[in-house]
Amino acid sequence: MSSAVKDERVQKTSFITNLLRRPEFGALMGALAIFVLFSSVDTTGNFGLPGGIAGWTDIAAPIGIVAVFVALLMIGGEFDLSTGIMVGTTGLLTGLLVTELGLDIWSSIVIVLIFAAGVGLLNGWLVVTTGLPSFIVTLATFFVLRGLNLAVTKGFTGTVRVGDTDKAANYEQAAALLASKVEIFDASFQISIVWWILFTLLATWILTRTKFGNWIFASGGDANAARNAGVPVIKTKITLFVMSAVAAGFVGIMLVLRLKGMQAGQGVGIEFFYIIAAAVGGTLLTGGKGSAIGAALGAAIMGMAYIGIPYALWDSDLTFTFLGLILFTAVLINSFVGKRAMKGRKK
Amino acid sequence: MTAALELRNVSKQFGSVIAITDATIEVAAGNVTCVLGDNGAGKSTLIKILSGVHKPTSGEFLMDGQPVDFSSPREAIGKGIATVYQDLATIPLMSVWRNFFLGNEITIGWGPFRMLNVKKMKAQSKQQLLEMGIDLRDTEQPIGTLSGGERQAVAIARAVYFGAKVLILDEPTSALGVRQSGIVLKYVLAAKEKGVAVVFITHNPHHAFLVGDRFYLLNRGKMTNDFLRKNVKLDELTVAMAGGAELEALTHEIQQVKKS
């Protein structure tokens, strides 16, 4: 039986094909192209220098931290539209725990992260038990939290802002870890960049090198086939919802430490930044394929656009228009390149 | 010799619908047992009983002579009953080695640092597939790039490798062309040679006759015939499966239509 016949129609896959098959390849090329574009139209002569890099990575880092976990969730076949508002909710909650209950910053952070995990658990549980699309379930969570953010904040403070979080006990320690700056080459880089890189590496490791990562691809690729192979699809999906909510909570805490307060309207709309970063990074919207590094690169592209446009003296009102065009172009190229690399695939 | 798997007078009802009545099947190790039936004959219900999805309403379910009572597919898998479903066997976008080890991943390391042993899984999947006669240059390619027959073959090789005692194949050739079907039938025989009890469910008597040792015919929820290979010819099998008399009536009807 072991007389295997080589199929003469199968060509050896080249190095280039293997490269093109990687989901983050498009995002890497895109990031390089955007970098070259803004460096060439830059009027300050600063875009490619440490000062400029510190600027756009500061924008990219908080987007990237959430986006890499949103990408994991999307690879697992689900959406989370409540991640943006979670940044606001967790920031406000940290502020209220500190100012209203007088808790120290560390216990507040622990409580807030547990709260975020709870919301993620609820999202995931509702999605798997009701069978409703996660788009709808998390959209509902988004609006529920949006209303609560405003009502609860007003109820406690009488205004739409929670402030004075820097008066909390141990604030300095937490701020040093999560909201400080590092001076390199006369430019101040945010510590959030370090977290961005660490979380990207962690998410990449989880996705490509652990059993759980295998289950993510399987759950998003074909939930029925995954179940038949013995993959705990429900557990996998719920864990992914928890991870994206906790990542959003982490960013909310970083933000409230840095701003020493939080507006009740914070976070509305940024859930789409995460989804855009993931999609630009090669994550398939239908699940089953994608990469955390791609999502991190997607976030970098958005950061570069945010800083590059004013540096080029373009109308910064058009930033969103630019991001929309990038999203469309990137996904178009990704799907085209992906199809070429998968050539011969039957489905 | 006791059968690897046996159903005795099994019936299954869903509310007022009787799906299977009084079915008796014996599946021996190292044999290919074919269950033939047309659409609606009760093949799917039978598969689901064997793979632990449904419990029979009445009758006995024995494995190696011992009565068993599965409450979930996982339990059946644990006992060594592997089911390969027609379209739901593999995940197209995942690589061959990831598909091969899905749900049975090999890991190294400890606690939270436990990670996949990618090198070992790549080498072992390549080796195992080669033993079944599938030569892949690169197990990193998405399984969706393989043909339908090859994908079924990988799913069969996977089940055999992970110690399936009973292998249930749900219409493995129905969506495939002639050559592709040939590939799958070759692996059915390879699994048989390894001593696995194969249950081959199909509506194609030609495919069944090529590999089968024993043939059960299912019609409208009832077992109508039970043939051993030595006692049956392909023609008889085809006629019996189509319901003999029904086929004659149909031929007659068609001729009437042609005349008018």
Residue B162: burial class (beta carbons within 10 Å; 0-12, 13-18, 19+): middle
Mean pLDDT in residue range A149-153 = 89
Residue of B74, B132, B145 with shortest CB distance to A230: B74
Query: Is residue A37 one of the residues assigned to a domain?
Result: no
A87's tokens: 């940044």
Could you report the predicted ipTM of this complex, rounded to two decimals?
0.80
In whole angstroms, what is the distance from residue A209 CA to residue B8 CA? 46
Residue of A1, A210, A229 with shortest CB distance to B102: A229
Residue in A29, A77, A55 with CA at minimum distance from that of residue A297: A29
Q: Are B59 and B8 in contact (CB under 8 A)?
A: yes
Q: For chain B, how far is it from start to end, CA to CA, in angstroms?
A: 58
Residues 6+ apart with CB under 8 A from A38: A47, A304, A305, A307, A308, A309, A311, A312
Query: Is residue B51 one of the residues assigned to a domain?
Result: yes
Distances (CA, A) of A207 to A125, A189, A271, B80, B186: 22, 28, 21, 30, 36
Residue of A2, A13, A217 with shortest CB distance to B98: A217
Give me the pLDDT at residue A117, please.
Answer: 96
Give me the pLDDT at residue A5, please.
Answer: 46
Say how many domains are in chain B.
Answer: 2
In whole angstroms, what is the distance from residue A140 CA to residue A130 CA? 13
Q: Are residues B83 and B186 in the same domain?
A: yes
Write down the pTM of the prediction.
0.85
Mean pLDDT of chain A: 86
Interface of A with B in 260-299 (CB under 8 A): 284, 288-289
Q: What is the domain extent for residue B112?
A: 94-141
Which CATH number is B66's domain given? 3.40.50.300
In whole angstroms, what is the distance from residue A266 CA to residue A88 CA? 5
Q: Are residues B53 and B126 in the same domain?
A: no
In whole angstroms, what is the distance from residue A281 CA to residue A68 CA? 9
Query: Is residue A284 one of the residues assigned to a domain?
Result: yes
Residue B136, pLDDT > 70, answer: yes
Q: Are A116 and A90 in contact (CB under 8 A)?
A: yes
Which CATH number is A108's domain given? 1.10.3470
Query: Going along chain B, which residue ranges are E strands?
Result: 5-14, 17-27, 32-37, 58-63, 66-67, 81-84, 107-108, 115-116, 166-170, 197-202, 214-219, 222-228
Q: Are residues B64 and B120 in the same domain?
A: no
Query: Is residue A118 one of the residues assigned to a domain?
Result: yes
Question: Which chain B positions have a beta carbon within 8 Å of A229's beta carbon?
Answer: 102-103
In whole angstroms, what is the distance from residue A64 CA to residue B165 CA? 48
pLDDT band at A12 (very low <50, low <70, confident <90, very high): low
In whole angstroms, what is the distance from residue A32 CA to residue B174 CA? 48
Shortest distance, CA B206 to any CA of chain A (angstroms): 22
User: Using one digit for the tens of pLDDT, what is the confidence trace for B78-99?
Assistant: 888 888 887 767 888 898 999 9
Mean pLDDT in residue range A286-295 = 91
**Cβ of residue B145 closer than 8 Å to a chain A Cβ:** yes
**Cβ of residue A344 closer than 8 Å to a chain B Cβ:** yes
Q: Are residues B212 and B255 in the same domain?
A: yes
Q: Are residues B201 and B173 in the same domain?
A: yes
Q: Are residues B29 and B133 in the same domain?
A: no
**Cβ of residue B72 closer than 8 Å to a chain A Cβ:** no
Q: What is the domain extent for residue A192?
A: 55-331
Q: Are residues B194 and B215 in the same domain?
A: yes
Residue of A5, A226, A345 with shortest CB distance to B91: A226
Question: Which chain A positions have a beta carbon within 8 Å of B102's beta carbon?
Answer: 214, 218, 226, 229-231
* Least confident window among A13-17, A86-90, A306-310, B212-216: A13-17
* Least confident window among A284-293, B65-74, B100-109: B65-74
Say how many domains are in chain A.
Answer: 1
Residue of B94, B103, B145 with shortest CB distance to A221: B94
Tokens 């209303």 correspond to A147
Shortest distance, CA B75 to any CA of chain A (angstroms): 11
Inter-chain CB proximity B74 and A284 less than 8 Å: no
Question: Which chain A positions have a beta carbon within 8 Å of B138's beta carbon?
Answer: 13
Residue in B30, B27, B38 with CA at minimum distance from that of residue B5: B27
Query: Is residue A50 one of the residues assigned to a domain?
Result: no
User: Using one digit for the tens of pLDDT, what is the confidence trace for B208-250?
Assistant: 888 888 888 888 777 777 777 777 777 777 777 766 656 667 7
